[in-house]
Amino acid sequence: MTAERLDWLADAPPEYRERLAQHLSPQECNEFAYHWGIWARDAQLPPPGDWRVWLVMAGRGFGKTRCGAEWVRMIAESDPAALIALVATSLAEARAVMVEGESGLLSCSPPDRMPVFEPSLRRVRYPNGAQILLYSAAEPESLRGPQHSHAWCDEIGKWPMSHDRATRCWDNMLMGLRLGSDQRVMVTTTPRSVPMLHRLLDGEASGQTVVTRGRTQDNAANLPAQFLTAMESEFAGSLLARQELDGEMVGDIDGALWSRSLIERCRDAGREPCDYTRVVVAVDPPASARGDACGIVVAALGSDGLARVLADCSVEQASPERWAQAVAVAANEWSADRVIAEANQGGAMVESVLRAAQQSLPVKLVHARRGKVARAEPVAALYEAGKVRHSGMFPQLEDQLCGLMPGGAYEGPGRSPDRADALVWALTELMLGRSGAPRVLQV
């Protein structure tokens, strides 16, 4: 079976397709349901031409995973000698999303040609002999040596970047792509401004990479209306929506203190957590309940001397009682030994509101003598020095960091970098304060 577009059937009136279905045998009806060429949108079908890499870069819910799984199934069912690599951020994601997920290989395969998944061997076997092997981008050396005819790489935008793992994984995979006569790679990802994805996009001009772009809204017919409404009301007009929903590559601002590639290098993905010697919750209180967000960021100092950003618990348009309660919840959940609160917007009021939420909160008020960006510059230097890790993804916080400019300007989303300011207070307390700053002893 191929994924050819059956335009005459796809464009036929519903009543015609119903009459056709009535004349099909049970076996033909079963096959009809699994014929991807009938149900796929044009953007989900392989592009024509002699391309080497097909990059599907689109918003969440576009149907990228189904698109990748169907492409792999088409290759496996048409070529018994196919040996296909599936590469994800981790083996757990390769299994949960690419193989066993609701849009994965097993879900889109017809019962009479269902492949066998062997988790212990990280292998999927098709009845005709084609095989699929699973790999983790966090282990690039596992791709050094094995040979493949094709590959499907998922969410390459979030592959681990520390120690150039993403690049090494991609290079090792390409050098092993030497079986068969028509080696090709499919990449499915939400766009993120990282070097690996820019490298793939650079191949578009030469024709080596064919790019399919798409939005969440393109698949509206197959997504819950409540989900689409919620995404629109929550994120409309934001940088996060442009990236995660519209599938747009949001680049760096020239001269900003943080770049997205810098943050990716500081991502603490795939590592075992270390012991924390200190945990703080930093708060940037809003001037009013109808104004800016209340920035609430949790960070810790590890026994290895590195600071880690653990959580962004910020709340939007919250009353003093609500944001103070959010601070108390974060402090209790993370067992914080200090709550750092900026006191420029009424110090006594800030402390009293926090005490009202929880009397025992270990509050420390700090006063800003310089602007937000000036305070951020030494913290950005900590990132450059490799002293900070992000233990997770914090899109809104990271968008604000990438909008902070030297000299005092802010060019990021929203009116004020409240989340970023809370992060700066937290890391200043942990790494640049009297207790955390390194000192040279005079002897």
Residue-wise pLDDT tens for the chain (443 aa)?
A: 344 555 666 667 777 767 777 777 777 777 777 888 878 898 999 999 889 999 999 999 999 999 999 999 999 999 999 999 999 999 999 999 999 999 999 999 998 889 999 999 999 999 999 999 999 999 999 999 999 999 999 999 889 876 788 899 999 999 999 999 999 999 999 998 788 888 999 998 888 899 999 999 999 988 999 999 988 877 776 667 888 888 888 777 778 899 888 888 888 865 556 789 999 999 998 876 566 789 999 999 999 999 999 999 999 888 889 999 999 999 999 999 999 998 766 556 788 889 888 888 898 998 877 777 778 999 999 999 999 999 988 888 998 998 898 877 787 777 788 999 999 999 999 999 754 444 443 43
Q: What value, to the nearest 5°, has the Cα angle with vertex 273 and ends 271 and 279? A: 140
Choose which CATH entry (3.10.580.10, 3.40.50.620, 3.30.420.240, 3.40.50.720) describes domain 260-432: 3.30.420.240
Residue 243: CB atoms within 10 Å: 22
Residue extents of the structural domains in the chain: 40-241, 260-432
Helix (H) or strand (E) holding 7: helix 7-10
Contacts of 413-418 with CB under 8 Å at 24 or more apart are 413/238, 413/239, 413/240, 414/292, 414/293, 415/291, 415/292, 416/292, 416/372, 417/372, 418/284, 418/286, 418/292, 418/293, 418/294, 418/295, 418/314
What pLDDT score was predicted for residue 439? 43
The reply to whether 260-432 shares the fold of 40-241 is: no
pTM exceeds 0.75, yes or no: no
Distance CA 167, CA 263 (A): 16
Q: What is the pLDDT of residue 437?
A: 43
Supply the pLDDT for residue 347. Answer: 58
| Structure letter (DSSP) for residue 178 | -
User: How many Å apart are CA 126 and CA 301, to the nearest integer?
Assistant: 49
> Are 349 and 316 contacting, i.e. CB atoms less than 8 angstroms apart?
no
Contacting residues for 227 by C-beta, under 8 A, at least 6 apart: 61
Alpha carbon 220 to its chain centroid, in Å, reads: 21
User: Hey, what are 288's tokens?
Assistant: 């009013």
CATH 3.40.50.300 fits 40-241, yes or no: yes
Give the helix/strand (H/E) hosting 169. helix 165-175
